[in-house]
Amino acid sequence: MTARFAGRVALVTGAGQGVGAATATELAKGGATLVLNDVDDAKLQASAEQLRALGATVSTYAGSVTDASIVAAMAEAAIAEHGKVDLLLNNVGGGPPMTPWNEFAESDLAHFRAIFEVNFFSQAMVLRALLPQMIARGYGKVVCVSSMSAVMGQESGSAYASGKLALHALVSSVSKEVARKGVNVNAVVLGNPPHWTRTPDRQAYLDRLSHIDRVGQLEEFGKGIAFLLSDDASYITGAAIPIDGGITTPRMNG
């Protein structure tokens, strides 16, 4: 049986840990060639070595994708080395500890700009850099990582929630532009993954919201995203699909 990602080249940002590393593992198991990015080079190299141990061909490009010059150089290097990029996991974003939660009335424009740079513009720039060659070849699969905060809002985190929700509009719009050009563009709405920073009270709150009553496992997020990057999901585009244990779907009692 042919591996479902055989012959595919996948670029994964935020690949040094968490959901990015978990998804890269699923892609490697499926036979994909991998181009990995992370701002933390030590974590990036450790992740790459684990994937090479699975037999994957892996190249790395360290740097922050909030920097347009780094994004352009990374895309150019990936295409020069492999001739193409078929699959893109846009997996960069963050709230605390990168920045403190601030109520909107106490925040300022600089705070909003910083959060949008990480949670929206970084993903938009990577997508913009790789999309033309996908269109030219008539093939591409893109997944942008969002958060349940985009759907539910985030008290004291309006900048983060707004940045993530902006991704949904980008995905919906771009997917319409490229659907007849062989490119699928989707978002995933993550909720309650194990690597999120949270207090015990926050975790208890998330567990109450989850219909499954537990933290999601990284492998579960990775498998869900890998499905959307596969040809098995060829009729799914423009969607924001929750992988959240049901958190964004309210419970109805009675």
Active site residues: 160
d(CA 71, CA 129): 7
- Which residues does residue 95 pair with via DSSP β-bridges, in sequence order? 97
Helix axes 218-228, 18-29, angle to 10 degrees: 60
CA angle centred on 164, ends 161 and 170, rounded to 5°: 140
Q: Which amino acid is at 173?
A: S
d(CA 172, CA 165): 11
Contact (Cβ atoms closer than 8 angstroms) between residue 225 and residue 19: yes
d(CA 167, CA 213): 28
| Alpha-carbon distance values, 207 to 154, 228, 254 (Å) | 17, 26, 21
Helices (H), strands (E): how many in the chain? 9, 7
d(CA 236, CA 254): 34
CA angle centred on 159, ends 215 and 174, rounded to 5°: 85
